[in-house]
Amino acid sequence: MNISFAAPSVPSSGALVVGVLDGKKLTPTAASLDKQTEGALERALAGGNFSGKKGELLEIVAPAKLGNSRILLVGLGEPAKLGEKDLQDLGGAAAARLLASGEEKAAFLVDKLRGGKPAPERAANYAYGALLRSYRFDKYKTKEKPEKKPKLKEIKVLVEDAAAAKRLFQKLEKIAEGVFVTRNLVSEPANVLFPKSLAAEARKLEKLGVKVTVLGEKEMRKLGMGALLGVAQGSAQEPQLLVMHWEGAGAKGGAPLAFVGKGVTFDTGGISLKPAAGMEDMKWDMGGAGAVVGLMHALAARKAKVNAVGVCGLVENMPSGTAQRPGDVVKSMSGQTIEVLNTDAEGRLVLCDALWYTQENYKPRLIVDLATLTGAIIISLGHEHAGLFSNDDKLSEQLTAAGKEVGEPLWRMPLGREYDKQIDCDVADMKNIGGGRAGGSIVAAQFLQRFIKEGTPWAHLDIAGMAWSTKDKPTVPKGGSGFGVRLLDTFVAENFEK
C-alpha cells in the first residue's frame, strides 16, 4: 500500500473519504463538496440512518459534477473524544470498505476541527490504521479470481501541514512493519516455518542493526537446557535458541529490557496427542516468538533509544519413537528438575530454559515473556483480552496502560502459593501440570515464576486467545493478528525512552 501526504485539494479521480460530525454536521471539506455537488451530500444524509456517530460509514456514488467514482462519509462523532486508537480504527474501517470496493486509489480529506488532536496527528493516525488494515497474506493463492483481489494500491492523505503529518506517520509506519513481520511469521504453514527457517527470517534484522545469535542443539545441550530439548527430541527439526540484541541506548543505557517468546512452530501435543480437529491452528503456537521478532524489528526500524534483548526458544513438538514420554524427568538449565506428566504442556518447558538463559547472560532490568501458552486463558478471557501475570505491580500497570492505548488489552490474573502448590512433585522438583483443569493458566504462570530470579521484575502474557483473529477488526484482518508488537513498542516508548 502506497500512502502519501499532500496539501488539501480534491483529486479528479478515485474515491474520496470525508468526515462527518455527530448530528450529521458536515466538516468544512464536506460542506465544500456539498456545494460543488448542489447538495448531494446533505440529501444523502437526510435520507438514511447515518448520523455521524463515531465509526459509521455511508457510501454514495459521486455526483456527475465530480470526476470521482464514489464518496465515503465517515462518522467522526465528537472530535474532542477521538483518541489515537479511535483515529486508527476510523482509518482502518475506511480502508476495509475501499479494499472491498474495487477502487484502485483513494484520497482521505482531513480538516482542521475544533477540539481534539491537530490535523497532522489525525492524518497520520488515519493513515496508520489504513495501513494496518491493508495487510493480506495471500502468497499461496495461485488461482484467486481477479475480482476477489483488493485493487486499492494508493491512499493520498490531504491535510494542511502535510510535512508534519508525514513525519509522524514515518514512525508509525516502522511499527506497522514490525506488526507485518509478526503476521507473516504466524501465518506461514509449519512445513515452511520451522525452527531453523524462523531463525533465518530473524537474521534479516541484522540489516537494521540488530545483533542476531542462534544456538543449535549442541550449544544448548552444553548449557544444560534439558527442558527445551526434551520438547524437541521427537522432531526431525533441530531446535534453535534465537537471541536478538538491540543497543539503541549504548553503554550508558545500562542493562537491557528483555522479551522472551515461546516459539513452538508446530504443536501436535507430542505423545499426549491433541485431537485432530483444529490441529492445523497449531502452526501459530509460535505467536509469542513471532511477536518478539516483530517487536525487535519495530524498535530497530524506528531507532528506539533503548537497549533490548529478545530471546526465543524455537522447537517443534512431534510424536515419534524418540519423543518425550509422560513420566519422563528432565533437568532444566536452572538445575531444577521437572517431571513431565503431559507432553502437551510443552510451552512452559521451552520458556523456562529461555528465561533462565536470558537472566544468566543479560541480567535484564525486567523480563516480559509472551506465549500462546494455555487454552485455559481462552476459557477465562475469550478472545478479548490476553492474560497478564506478574510479580511486579508497577510493571503490570505500565503494560496494562500500553495495551489499553493501542487496543491490545490485558487483564491481570492472580498468582499465589495455593496455586503454586499444585505443581509440587513427589518425583522431581516440580511437575509440568497441576492436578486438574481448574486454574490451568494460573498454574502455568506459577511454573514459569519458579524460573525467575528474586528481584527481577517479570510479566507473563498468555496470548493464546489473541495471536490469531477469526474475524475482521478495524485494524486487524482475519488471521495472524500481530498482537503484542504495538503493545510492547508503546510500553517501551512511554516508559523507557522519555
Sign of CA dihedral 349, 257, 483, 203: negative
Rounded to the nearest 10 degrees, the angle between the axes of helix 84-99 and helix 393-406 is: 40
Active site residue 65: no
CA angle in degrees (0–180, nearest 5) for 430-356-446: 40
Active site residue 274: yes
DSSP E strand boundaries for 136-283 = 154-158, 211-215, 240-247, 257-267
CA angle in degrees (0–180, nearest 5) for 228-492-93: 100
Do 147 and 196 form a contact (C-beta atoms < 8 A)?
A: no
Do 79 and 21 form a contact (C-beta atoms < 8 A)?
A: yes
CA angle in degrees (0–180, nearest 5) for 14-19-22: 150
- Identify the residue whose cell numbers are 528432565: 330
Q: Which of 302, 348, 431, 486 is catalytic?
A: 348
Do 75 and 25 form a contact (C-beta atoms < 8 A)?
A: no
Map residue 207 onto helix, strand or coil: helix
The one-letter amino acid at 489? D
DSSP per-residue string spanning 122-133: HHHHHHHHHHHH
What sections of 82-161 are H helices per DSSP? 84-99, 119-133
Q: CB-based burial of residue 177 (10 Å sphere; 0-12 exposed, 13-18 middle, 19+ buried)?
A: middle
Q: Which of 274, 331, 450, 473 is catalytic?
A: 274
Query: Element (H or E) spanning 403, and its range?
Result: helix 393-406
The one-letter amino acid at 420? D
Active site residues: 274, 348
